[in-house]
């Protein structure tokens, strides 16, 4: 095992491997953003995440995709940057 910053430990089998369930990390961040009073940021990320899932070309292996977590994260970031001109969906318009 190896010690990381903040008191975290990571096993040697996880070194240099892309982590699975990256969408769960993003969704946890959405909850945190809402909790600290940043619902607009959470909504922008959620809309980008949903768009990546709809196109399905850069999903991670844990959800039947072929991309690594870095590619998945890049896709979400690209969608967030491209949604500046589009009208984002609001929380109240989703059911």
Q: What is the pLDDT of residue 12?
A: 53
Domain span at 60: 21-84
Q: Which two tokens stand for residue 92?
A: 């109240």
**Average pLDDT of the residues of the chain:** 76
54-83 average pLDDT score: 86
Say if 79 falls within a structural domain: yes
Say if 95 falls within a structural domain: no
Report which of 39, 22, 32 is spatially closest to residue 76, judged by C-alpha positions: 22
Say if 2 falls within a structural domain: no
Length of the chain in terms of residues written: 95
Question: How many domains is the chain built from?
Answer: 1
- The helix (H) or strand (E) run that includes residue 54 is helix 39-55
Query: Under 8 Å CB-to-CB from 21, ≥6 apart: which residues?
Result: 62
Say if 25 falls within a structural domain: yes
- The helix (H) or strand (E) run that includes residue 2 is strand 2-3
Q: Is the pLDDT of residue 9 over 70?
A: no
């Amino acid at each position: 095992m190896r010690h990381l910053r903040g008191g975290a430990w990571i096993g040697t089998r996880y070194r240099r491997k892309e982590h699975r369930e990256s969408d769960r990390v993003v969704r946890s961040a959405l909850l945190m953003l809402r909790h600290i009073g940043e619902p607009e940021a959470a909504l922008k990320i959620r809309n980008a995440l949903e768009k990546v899932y709809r196109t399905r070309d850069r999903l991670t292996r844990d959800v039947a995709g072929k991309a690594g977590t870095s590619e998945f994260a890049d896709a979400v970031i690209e969608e967030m940057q491209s949604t500046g001109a589009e009208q984002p969906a609001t929380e109240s318009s989703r059911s």
